[in-house]
Amino acid sequence: MTSSIIRLYTDGSCLKNGADNAPGGWAAVLESGHKQLRISGHATPSTNNSMELQAILEGLKAVQASQQTIHIYTDSAYARNGCKTWRFNWRAKGWLTSNNKPVENQELWQQLDELLDQHEVQLFKVKGHSGHPQNDLADKLAVAAARGRTVREYRQAGDYEYVRPARETETSEEAVQ
């Protein structure tokens, strides 16, 4: 990806948030220059917040070696505020909240903290389901991932057409392992 800025659009989805073994999905749409990378994945159990964080984390992992500025767009106030402000306080307090309780999603936050410190990052909050093409695409991919349909593909920047990914099968997952 070649450009001075990498734009990372993220979303997370949890189909039965709050339920035991709730299936979740995350998605990231990365754009730089004329290239676009779409990635998604799933996890069980999950929460909507853990999937929002996972989306940012996986997007940052995809560009980890880059020295470019990264603009992260999320519809999650939790993810944006945590990345922009809260993580510094949590880290200083040994990953405890202001009430001296362990930070929820601590492992994800610690990984994000490490990756965010390696890049020049700006965070932007976008309104969810508001016609923002990249975030709407990330939302559709995250919901599909929560249902077991994941993607990793390159496209041309500006292509926001959603094509439902094929369902993963047990044999294809076993082949990857």
* Amino acid in position 136: D
In the block, tokens 């993963």 appear at: 168
Name the active-site residue from 12, 24, 25, 41.
12
Respond yes or no: is residue 12 known to be catalytic: yes
Respond yes or no: is residue 11 known to be catalytic: yes
Handedness of CA 82, 146, 138, 4 (dihedral sign): positive
75 marked as part of a ligand binding site: yes
168 marked as part of a ligand binding site: no
The answer to whether 163 and 153 have CB atoms below 8 angstroms apart is: no
Cα-based torsion angle of the residue sequence 28, 31, 35, 38 in order, rounded to the nearest 10 degrees:
10
170 marked as part of a ligand binding site: no
User: Two tokens at 165?
Assistant: 């990914």
139 marked as part of a ligand binding site: yes
Q: How many CA atoms lie within 13 A of 30 on its CB side?
A: 28
Name the active-site residue from 33, 117, 129, 153.
129
Name the active-site residue from 41, 42, 52, 136.
52
Respond yes or no: is residue 52 known to be catalytic: yes
Respond yes or no: is residue 107 known to be catalytic: no
Respond yes or no: is residue 139 known to be catalytic: yes
Respond yes or no: is residue 18 known to be catalytic: no
d(CA 10, CA 28): 4
159 phi/psi in degrees, rounded to 5: -95, 105
Give catalytic residues, as residue numbers. Answer: 11-12, 52, 75, 129, 139
Binding site per annotation, positions: 11, 52, 75, 139
Binding site per annotation, positions for Mg(2+): 11, 52, 75, 139
